[in-house]
Amino acid sequence: MPAFADTNVVVYAFAKDEAKVAIAEGILEKQPTISVHVISEFLNVCRTKLGMDLPTRHKLAGELIAGCNVVALDPRVIEKAMDVEAPGEGISGGPGGPERGLDGKCANLRARGCSGIGD
């Protein structure tokens, strides 16, 4: 089943908590599908929250582009994400288990106590 990752997954790879880093890296190693918007948001977080310099930000963005399936965010991509999402377990969660689809992997991080950058 294809995995869609959002910006939080990428950012958690740079968290201070080693458990969060390990989870995020495990997701990214599986070469998930990300949108160009995720790369743009990640670059902004690297600049404003993580204080990374331009060459470092661009190197990391290049690694994301090379290591993930990068797609433009269009209706077809959204429909594919909705197809992957399990019934009753949408972005807001549900009684059937962890969230899936666009926000699925981040739900697993939140369930382990991850709430933001540097947690």
Distance (Å, rounded) from C-alpha 62 to C-alpha 70?
11
* pLDDT at site 118: 43
- Is residue 107 scored above 90 in pLDDT? no
Distance (Å, rounded) from C-alpha 108 to C-alpha 104?
7
Helices and strands (H, E) in the chain, number of each type? 6, 2
In a domain, 12, yes or no: yes
* pLDDT at site 111: 52
Task: Give the residue with greater pLDDT, 107 vs 83.
Answer: 83
Mean pLDDT in residue range 47-56 = 94
In a domain, 1, yes or no: no
Mean pLDDT of the chain: 77
Domain extent for 32: 7-111
In a domain, 47, yes or no: yes
In a domain, 98, yes or no: yes
User: Around Cβ 100, how many Cβ atoms within 10 Å?
Assistant: 23
In a domain, 117, yes or no: no
Task: Name the pLDDT band for 42 (thresholds 50, 70, 90).
Answer: very high
Count the domains in the chain: 1
Mean pLDDT in residue range 27-50 = 94
Is residue 103 packed enough to be buried (19+ CB in 10 Å), middle (13-18) or exposed (0-12)? buried
Distance (Å, rounded) from C-alpha 55 to C-alpha 33?
24
In a domain, 119, yes or no: no
